[in-house]
Amino acid sequence: MRPYDVLFEQALTRVDPERIHHAAFGAIRAAAPVTGRVVRVPSRPVHALGLTFPHALGLAAGFDKNAVGIDGLAALGFGHVEIGTVTGEAQPGNPQPRLFRLKDDRAIVNRMGFNNDGAEVVAKRLAAWRSGGGSTILGVNIGKSKVVPEEEAARDYEKSAGLLAPYADYLVVNVSSPNTPGLRNLQAVEKLAPILAAVRRRADEARPDHRVPLLVKIAPDLSDDDVLAVADLALSSGLDGIIATNTTISRDGLASPAATVAGIGAGGLSGRPLTQRSEDVVRMLRRRVGPELTLIGVGGITTVDDARRRLVAGADLLQGYTAFVYEGPLWPRRIVRGLATDA
């Protein structure tokens, strides 16, 4: 058993997950000057979205919601960091407790509710980071403010895009979190299309000298037909890529006791239970869109073999979150090193 496994089982699991997250993230930020000097592992660059990524693996949105630890996370070995989800208006998120572990499934359930400082504050933070030399490839994931009604969603996304596009290497429209009421309704193509158009227009206005790539993040709970409809919309609307997938509302096939799962209640489930569905969605998307769009595979990637399979399915880039929690700070380097050995 690895030292981190002992620490996780004997200590970390005895403390509220959200408290542990904040403490661990603080340690990551504090250690950045040291971890950044660790010898780099061999890696294979990836060319996607008009960028050169040092390797395929990045950190998914949700870990650094407010852009406070980008350099520390990159120092652990992530080739890109996606911050957010950031909303147009600052919001506290849902009541606590709102983050839960399902250890038997190597899974997490969250109903955080897009808790973040809001686009204006995060934009100022990113401006300072960029002016200070921040160079990590940065994705900015934007979502709808809870107080904004569905019919005004495009305006809300547009606000965030205008404020954040100047500092982003790519933008992601998140319409797939289960923790903001009505948000997933926006995945319907007739509602998604005007949002994507508004974000594209506003991003171009904010960066007239540079086209910021735009992606959409979708849920694993979409039907196959709806996945293909989003793929067709992505092609017809000039999107640069799709991130597949977000968390799931399904609780099927879990090893955890049913009473434990029921006691946790609502929220998006991430981790190992998503592995197969997320892989299937990536494969389906690649067949539909051909080589034209960038696909980022996320959901249930824990081992090097998981990562390889997602790339074979058609992903250009990968992201992780839950495995980072369960496997510890050396996990990104293990995945990157393993992929670098492939022919």
> What does the pLDDT read at residue 11?
60
The answer on whether 63 is annotated among ligand-binding residues is yes
Catalytic residue list: 177
132 is in an annotated binding site: no
Query: Cα separations (Å) of 331 from 58, 165, 302?
Result: 12, 30, 9
How would you label 137-173 residue by residue, b for 16+ Cβ within 10 Å and e otherwise? bbbbbbbbbbebeeeebbebbbbbbbbbbebbbbbbb
Range of 139's domain?
A: 3-340
pLDDT in tens, 7-45: 666 666 678 999 999 999 999 999 888 887 765 778 899
pTM above 0.85, yes or no: yes
Confidence at residue 211, expressed as pLDDT on a 0 to 100 scale: 98
Q: Which of 81-85, 179-183, 194-198, 268-272 has the lowest mean pLDDT?
A: 179-183
Give the model's pLDDT for residue 38. Answer: 64
User: Which pLDDT does position 10 carry in this prediction?
Assistant: 61
- Determine if residue 322 is labeled as part of a ligand binding site: yes
Residue 246 assigned to a binding site:
yes
pLDDT (0 to 100) of residue 343: 54
- Judge whether 294 is annotated as a binding position: no
pLDDT at 267 over 80: yes
CATH code for the domain in which residue 68 is found: 3.20.20.70
Structure tokens at 275: 């592995």
**Domain count within the chain:** 1
**pLDDT exceeds 90 at position 6:** no
Across residues 289-303, what is the average pLDDT?
Answer: 97
